Amino acid sequence: MAQETERIAAPVTARGRATRQSLLDAAEQVFGDRSYDGASIAEITRTAGVAQGTFYQYFPDKKAAFVELVHGLNHSLRETISRAVADTTSRIEAERVGFRTFFDYVTRHKALYRIIRECEFVDIDTYRWHYQTLAAGYSRGLDEAQRRGEITMSIPAEDLAWILMGIAESAGSRWVLMEDRQPSEDALETLMTFIGCALAPGEAA
């Protein structure tokens, strides 16, 4: 796929990895503040506190840094949620913890919304990869819950994953981006009540 050819090998030294991550952190801030078209390599390196020439030791161009940033945010988001739900004992509990963790994550990474939306136009293959990768992992967890009889079997796990991802993204957009706050416990409970009813197996629905 296109995004794979644009990615470059990670540096082997701790110092190199730290510098590269500083550039990606700066890129997240600059792309989020200025958009892809408005961002410049000069602004990214200035924000990272390194010389402009340092950028090219790690990325051939701005698009390559953008694509790598999307990969990094995707991985970070999946790892953060995976760790959070690891000790949950039911699928509904996993959904509750997962949604809360997602809202916490996007509160700390508000640029994620703008970056992913722009990714559709910057690199469509990376845009598709982002959502398909999230959905694939989500589907596996839902499929396991279906096999255990915890949630409805009438909707394919993959379809459920995309539906729940859409709910999380739109809810996060409302609370975190538009209202600049975390959802209250009452709001989260309302959301979980809806999800619980939607996922309930058999006659429980």
CA-nearest of 172, 49, 157 to 103 is 172
CB atoms within 10 A of CB 136: 12
**What is the pTM assigned to this prediction?**
0.91
**Of 54, 185, 48, 199, residue with least CA distance to 138:** 199
pLDDT tens for 104-114 read: 999 999 999 99
**pLDDT tens string 2-50:** 444 455 667 879 999 999 999 999 999 999 999 999 999 999 999 999 9
Write down all domains in the chain, each with its CATH number in brackets: 62-204 (1.10.357.10)
For residue range 144-182, list pLDDT tens digits in order. 999 999 999 999 999 999 999 999 999 999 999 999 999
Closest to 131 measured CA to CA, from 65, 70, 66: 70
